[in-house]
Structure 1
Amino acid sequence: MKTTTIFSFLLLLMVSSVTFAQDELQITAKDSIVQSSWIFGVGLNAVDDSGNVFDGIFNVGEEWNIVPFPSRLSIGRYFKSGLGLEAIGTYNQYKEGNIIDGEINLEDISYFGVDGRVTYDINKIIGETGWFDPYVGVGAGYTDANNKGRGTYNAVVGFRTWFSDRWGLDFNSTGKWAMSQSEGATNHIQHAAGVVYQFGIEKGLSQRGEEKLELLAAIEKEKQRQTDSINEVNRLKDEALLAERLKKQQEADALAAAEKAKVDAINKRKTEIKSRIENLGNVYFGLNSSVVNYSSKKVLDSLVQVLEEIPTLTLKITSHTDSRGTSKYNDWLSQRRVDKTKDYLLSKGVPAEKLTTEAYGETMLLNECDDNTYCPEDKHAVNRRSEFVIIEF
C-alpha cells in the first residue's frame, strides 16, 4: 500500500513537471527585445555653469538654470550593436541672481546648444533588463552660453526606463568642456529629463528567447516526424474527396451554364418580341376623339398577327391624352381610348384573357407640352396614343 502511494506521487510529480516545462517554452513578449530603432525625445534641461559644479552639484536654487517649458529636443538612431547616434538641440536661460562662472548673474541671458553624440547601451555588457537601459557616450557640439560661443567636447551618462515598447523616460547628465577657453568660455554640466518615443522598431529574441526557440524547433521537428506518417495515410483520402468535390463542382457549373443559357434565350426572345411590337408603332387619336382611324387599324391588324403567331403572348394596353382639357375629362377620354383599342382587337378574334388595360389620362406626357407650356398641334398629337406593354410571352 505504501509503495503504491509513493509511485502515484512520483507519477503526479512527473506530469506536473512536463506541464510546467511546456508552459515555460511558450515564446512570449518577455522573450523579445528592441534591437534597433529611432528615438525621439522632448523634455527639460538644466544648466550648471557656476564654475563650482562638483562642490555644489545639488545646489539647484542658485546654480541650476531651468526654463518652465519643454527646452530640449533629440532624435537618434540606435543599432543592434548597442551603438547610437543622436542629435540634440537645447535652449535655456541663465537667470538673474544665479551664480555663473563664480559670480552673481546680473541679467537673464539666453543659452543655446546643438550637440551630436555617440552612445553605447550598457545592457550589451550586463545583460538585457527589458525596462531599464543605462548608457554612456561621447560627442561634440556648439554652445552659446553667457554670450560666449564655443565648441565643446562632451561626455554623457544616463539611462532610459520604458513603460512599453514605444514610450519611456530619459534621464542624463552631460559634461561639456570648451574646446578653447579664450574670451572666458568655461566648462559646464547640463542635466536633462524628458519623454522619449521609439519608432521604426526592429525587434528580436533575447538570449533566453533564442534558447526557447531552439528547443521548440526540436520539439516541433519530432512532432512533424510523427504527423508525417498520419498525413501520408490521409493524403489518398483527401485526393478522393477532392476528386468528388471537383465532380460536383463540374456538375454545378454545367447546371449553372444551362440555366444561364435558358435565361439568355428567354431574354433574347423577349427583346425580339418587344422590338417587333415597338416597330409597329403606337395607335394615335384625333383631338377629343377615341375613334380608331384607318392608320391605327393597320397597326392593330399587325399586332393581331403577332398575337396569333405567339399564342403565349399577353399584353397590357395603356392609353393617354394630351394636356388640353381638365384632368377629369382626360381620364375619361383615355379610358374610352383604351376601351376602343381593346374592342378592336377583340373584334379581330384576340382572346380577352390576353389583354389588360390601364388609362393614364394626361399623367404620362412624352414631351414638354403640359398645361403651362404652349405647343403646336403636332407636338400635342404625340401624346394622344395607345401603347402596348408585354406582360407574358
Structure 2
Amino acid sequence: MRTAKIFSFLFMFMASSVIFAQDELQITAKDSIVQSSWIVGVGFNAVDDSGNVFDGLVNFGDEWNIVPFPSRVSIGRNFKSGLGIEAIGTYNEYKEGKIIDSEVIPENISYFGIDGRITYDINKIIGETGWFDPYVGVGAGYTDANNKGRGTYNAVVGFRTWFSDRWGLDFSSTGKWAMSQSEGASNHLQHSAGVVYQFGIEKGLSKRGEEKQELLAAIEKEKQRQRDSINEVNRLKDEALLAERLKKQKEADALAAKEKARIDALNKKKAEIKARIENLGNVYFALNSSVINSNSKKIMNSLMLMFEEIPTLKLKITSHTDSRGASKYNDWLSQRRVDNTRDYLLSKGVPADKLTTEAYGENKLLNECDDNTYCPEEKHAINRRSEFVILEF
C-alpha cells in the first residue's frame, strides 16, 4: 500500500512537471521587450559646478544647485541596435551662497543648457533585465552657466527603470567639459531624475524569448518529424490499400466486361431470333374469322422448326382484331384467334410450356383505323393478326 502511494506521488509530480514545463515554454508578454520607440521625459536636474567635483561629490548642501519645479525636458528615439539619440533642455539656478567655480557666489544666477547625445543600451551586452535599463552615452551641447556661455563635450551614465512598456523613471549623471576655457568657463556635473514615456513602440522577443522560440521550433520540428514518420507509414498503408482496391477493381472490371460480352451476345442472339420471326410475318385472319388459313399455317410451320432448333425458346402469342364491331365481341374474337394460333402450334408438337397467350381485342391497333376514322379494307386487315413475342431463348 505504501509503495502504491509513493508511485502515485511520483506520477503526480512528473505530470505537474510536464504541465509546468509546457507552461514555461509558452511565449508570453514577459518574453517580449521594447526594441525601438520614441521617448519623452520631464524631470528635475541638479548641477554641481563647484570646481572640486570629485572631492565634494555628495556635498549636496554647499555644491548642488536645484530648483523646486520640473526643470528638464527631453525627446529622443531608441533603435533596435541599442543606440539612441536624444535632445535635452534644462533650466537651473545657482543659489546665493553656493560654491561655483571654487568661489561662493553673492547672488542667484540662472543656468540654461541645450544638449544632444547618443546613448547605448548596456542590456545589449549584459542581457535584457526587463525592468532595469542601464545606458552610457556621449554628446555635445551649449551651456550658459555662471553668466558664461560655452560649448561642451558631454559624457553620460544612467539607467531607466520601467513600470510598464510605456512608463518609467530615468536617472543619469552627465559630465560636461567646456570646449574652450576662455573667460574662465569650467567643467561641471549635471544630475537628473524624471519620468519618461514611450510611444511609437516596436516590440520583439528578449533573449529568453528567443531561446524559448528556438526550443519551441526544435520541439515542433521533432513533432513534424514524428508526423512525417506517421504519415509515411500511413502513406505506405494507403498505397497497399490502393493497390488492393485497384486489383479488386481490375477483377471487377474484367467480370463486368465478361458479363457485358455475355449480355451483348444474348442481345445479339435475341435480335437475330426476333428478326427471323419478324421475317416470317404475322398470322392474319379474315373479317370476323378465327380460322387459320393456309398462308398462316406455313408461317407457323416455319416457327415450329425454330422451336426444334432452339429448345430454350419461349414465346408469347398476342392476338388482335380491327376496330369494327362491338368491343366485347372483339375481345371474344381475339381470344378465339389466340387460342387457335396456340392450338395449331401445339398440334405440331410445340410443348405447351413454351407458349403463353394474351388477347387484346381492338386495344392495340397498328394504324389510325379506329371507330372514328374511315379506312379501306386493306388497312383494317393489318390489325387482324396474331403476333409472336420472345420471352426466353
What amino acid does structure 2 have at the position aligned with 1:85?
A: I
> What is the alpha-carbon distance in structure 2 between the residues aligned to residue 224 and residue 163 of structure 1?
43
What amino acid does structure 2 have at the position aligned with 1:77?
A: R
Query: Is the partner of 1:19 in helix, strand or coil?
Result: helix
> What is the alpha-carbon distance in structure 1 between the residues aligned to residue 58 and residue 105 of structure 2?
19
User: 2:208 matched to which residue of 1?
Assistant: 208
User: 2:132 matched to which residue of 1?
Assistant: 132
> What is the alpha-carbon distance in structure 2 between the residues aligned to residue 9 and residue 153 of structure 1?
67
> What is the alpha-carbon distance in structure 2 between the residues aligned to residue 20 and residue 223 of structure 1?
23
1:120 aligns with 2:120: yes
Shift of 1:38: 1.1
Q: TM-score normalized by structure 2?
A: 0.55
How many matched pairs? Answer: 230
> What is the alpha-carbon distance in structure 2 between the residues aligned to residue 4 and residue 45 of structure 1?
69
User: 2:361 matched to which residue of 1?
Assistant: none
Query: Is the partner of 1:96 in helix, strand or coil?
Result: coil
Query: Is the partner of 1:52 in helix, strand or coil?
Result: coil
User: 2:56 matched to which residue of 1?
Assistant: 56
Alpha-carbon displacement from aligned partner over 1:83-106 (angstroms, at most 9, x marks no partner) = 111110111111111111111111
> What is the alpha-carbon distance in structure 2 between the residues aligned to residue 26 and residue 200 of structure 1?
26
Q: TM-score normalized by structure 1?
A: 0.55
> What is the alpha-carbon distance in structure 2 between the residues aligned to residue 114 and residue 82 of structure 1?
23
Write out aligned runs for 1:1-393 (5 A): 7-219=7-219, 222=223
What amino acid does structure 2 have at the position aligned with 1:64?
A: W
What amino acid does structure 2 have at the position aligned with 1:152?
A: T
Instruction: Please tell me whether the aligned partners of residues 38 and 198 of structure 2 are also in contact (alpha carbons under 8 angstroms).
Output: yes
Shift of 1:167: 0.6
Shift of 1:225: 8.0
Structure 2 portions without partners, runs of 5+: 232-393
Shift of 1:206: 1.0
> What is the alpha-carbon distance in structure 1 between the residues aligned to residue 213 and residue 224 of structure 2?
15
> What is the alpha-carbon distance in structure 2 between the residues aligned to residue 52 and residue 186 of structure 1?
11
Shift of 1:213: 2.2
What amino acid does structure 2 have at the position aligned with 1:52?
A: N
What amino acid does structure 1 have at the position aligned with 2:136?
A: V
Shift of 1:17: 2.2
What amino acid does structure 1 have at the position aligned with 2:211?
A: E
> What is the alpha-carbon distance in structure 2 between the residues aligned to residue 5 and residue 63 of structure 1?
72
What amino acid does structure 2 have at the position aligned with 1:38?
A: W
Alpha-carbon displacement from aligned partner over 1:190-229 (angstroms, at most 9, x marks no partner) = 0101000011111111122122223334555638986998
Query: Is the partner of 2:209 in helix, strand or coil?
Result: helix
Query: Is the partner of 1:14 in helix, strand or coil?
Result: helix
Query: Is the partner of 2:213 in helix, strand or coil?
Result: helix
What amino acid does structure 1 have at the position aligned with 2:173?
A: S
Instruction: Please tell me whether the aligned partners of residues 127 and 207 of structure 2 are also in contact (alpha carbons under 8 angstroms).
Output: no
Alpha-carbon displacement from aligned partner over 1:43-64 (angstroms, at most 9, x marks no partner) = 0111111111111111111111
Identical pairs, percent: 83
> What is the alpha-carbon distance in structure 2 between the residues aligned to residue 19 and residue 190 of structure 1?
52
> What is the alpha-carbon distance in structure 1 between the residues aligned to residue 68 and residue 36 of structure 2?
33
Bigger radius of gyration, 1 or 2? 2
Alpha-carbon displacement from aligned partner over 1:259-306 (angstroms, at most 9, x marks no partner) = xxxxxxxxxxxxxxxxxxxxxxxxxxxxxxxxxxxxxxxxxxxxxxxx
User: 1:259 matched to which residue of 2?
Assistant: none
Query: Is the partner of 1:18 in helix, strand or coil?
Result: helix
What amino acid does structure 2 have at the position aligned with 1:158?
A: G
Structure 1 portions without partners, runs of 5+: 230-393
User: 1:366 matched to which residue of 2?
Assistant: none
